Amino acid sequence: MKIEEKTIDESIQGEATMVESKTDNGKKLYLESYGCQMNFSDSEIVASILSDNGFSTTRNVDEADVILMNTCSIRENAEQRVRNKLSQHNKRKKLNPGLVIGILGCMAERLKKDLLEQEKLVDLVAGPDAYRDLPALIEEVESGQKAVNVLLSREETYADISPVRLGKGGVTAFISIMRGCDNMCSFCVVPFTRGRERSRDPESIVAEAQDLFDKGYREVTLLGQNVDSYRWNISKKGEIQNPDKPVVTFAMLMEMVAKVNPKLRVRFSTSHPKDMTDDVLKVMAKYNNICKYIHLPIQSGNTEILKKMNRGYTTEWYMDRIKAIRTIVPEAFISTDIITGFCGETEEQHQDTLKLMEEVGYEFSYMFFYSERPKTLAERKFEDDIPLETKKRRLNEVQELQFKMSAEANKKTVGKVYEVLIEGVSKRSDEELFGRNSQNLTIIFPKDNYKPGEYVNVLVEDCTSATAIGTVVKD
């Protein structure tokens, strides 16, 4: 059975929920988010900035005065999907010449000239570090000019902005703890579109988590391109930046957030194998409300390919981290990212990936074939020499193996009782609710009188390769 091809960076798409402006100027914003969790989090920052400037959000695109699309550049088809949607919005602009169409995020940073001048699909372009400038950029467009700000910053973290929560459930929320990336993986465009890595003040993160809990949220996900390299008040060289303030690592930050309230679940994404320490795992094991789930991208099961990818670790190093997880947090579920058909990958190297997958026994994977991105090291240094047919065949083999492992992992949950945080109504029936356990497994069960935001204990009675099905165990 073929699993849908998608990556973690393409797993979230959506439009904003309705948010009233704090000061009404009568204008409405339609906001779409494509791509990763970080993009969705950024959209909440955008909504907050524009709400402060008189914009209310709308779910009806036809009543919008401003349409903003927060975009992803991780793969070529992600960009094409956005272009197709922009073409649809431009048809609306012919009926409403005053409509402002703008593009935000990674695609904006990468394709500013093409989108503004050559394709003429947008009026406004704003990069990930330019969202504070959006009110001025919109005014510039309304005066008859094209507007652009894609300057990257070494300081911007938006730590002082309280995001407007756009999710419909009111149960789970994202907290951005850092921005940018310094890793320079050869296949990845993120360092060029989001800039250098910088960490956010831990006090502001804890305050945001406390505020979310007070408002009824029961789960937060700490977001960063590489959360394990979070460090506050200490430079990359180990120099203390402010002697009057403590140094805070990611393990310490996670503990601070876990202490907000034992009823507030804490997740995090994404980890990097070269930076994940035992300290992080020990904190996970110490607190019940830190979820026992780790997304640890491997990308390839062959050390030579990992070196070409500039990942900074070997398969031996990676397996040492897996061993540490299994030892310190034995109940944890582990997921990963896998790329098939990277430059020069041989059939033997592809088989190494399949062997590593079996050795680890991932509960879930995000899988895709290699898509060359402009300006990356791989584009400049290596030939994209694997035929598309071969890439897809290898991807299908990876998917089939993961489907089998996911099914086997979920079967092991049958007969066990898990604490589940209820997130909402199941897609398959209005009479069922869904939530996730600590291991990030979605569990479906009868609705009864339970409500989103509540914790229930669920006995798993059946499963598919993607979800578990059960009933609530009553006290």
Reported as a single tens digit per residue, the pLDDT across 414-471 is 999 999 999 999 988 999 999 999 999 999 999 999 999 999 999 999 999 899 999 9
List, by residue range, all CATH 3.80.30.20 domains of the chain: 172-411
The pLDDT score that the predictor gives to residue 242 is 85
pLDDT of residue 168: 66
Q: What residue ranges of the chain are covered by domains with CATH 2.40.50.140?
A: 417-472
pLDDT at 241: 83
What is the per-residue pLDDT for 244? 84
Q: Whole-prediction pTM value?
A: 0.88
Residue whose pair of structure tokens reads 């640890």 in the numeric block: 296
The CATH number for 417-472, chosen from 3.40.50.800, 2.40.30.30, 1.10.357.10, 2.40.50.140, is: 2.40.50.140
Q: Which residues of 95-128 are buried (b: 16+ CB within 10 A; e: fewer)?
A: eeeebbbbbbbbbbbbbbeebbeeeebbbbbbbb
Out of 148-152, 179-183, 261-265, give the one with best mean pLDDT: 261-265
What confidence category does residue 212 fall into, taking pLDDT thresholds of 50, 70 and 90? very high
| Residues β-bridged to residue 44 | none
Q: What is the pLDDT of residues 78-92, one digit of tens each?
A: 788 888 999 999 999
pLDDT at 73: 74
- Give me the residue label for tokens 């005053």: 98
Classified by CATH at the fold level, domain 172-411 comes out as pyruvate-formate lyase- activating enzyme (3.80.30)
The amino acid sitting at 186 is: S
User: Predicted confidence band at 3 (pLDDT cuts at 50, 70, 90)?
Assistant: very low
Q: Which of 417, 419, 304, 386 is nearest to 353 (CA)?
A: 304
Residues contacting residue 247 through CB under 8 Å, at least 6 positions apart? 231, 232, 233, 234, 240
Place 8 in a pLDDT band, splitting at 50, 70 and 90.
very low
Lowest mean pLDDT among 95-104, 164-173, 386-395: 164-173
Which regions of the chain carry the CATH code 3.40.50.12160? 8-149
Assess contact for 448 and 426: CB atoms under 8 A. no
CATH entry 3.40.50.12160 includes domain 8-149: yes
In tens, the pLDDT along 222-249 reads 999 999 999 998 877 778 888 888 899 9
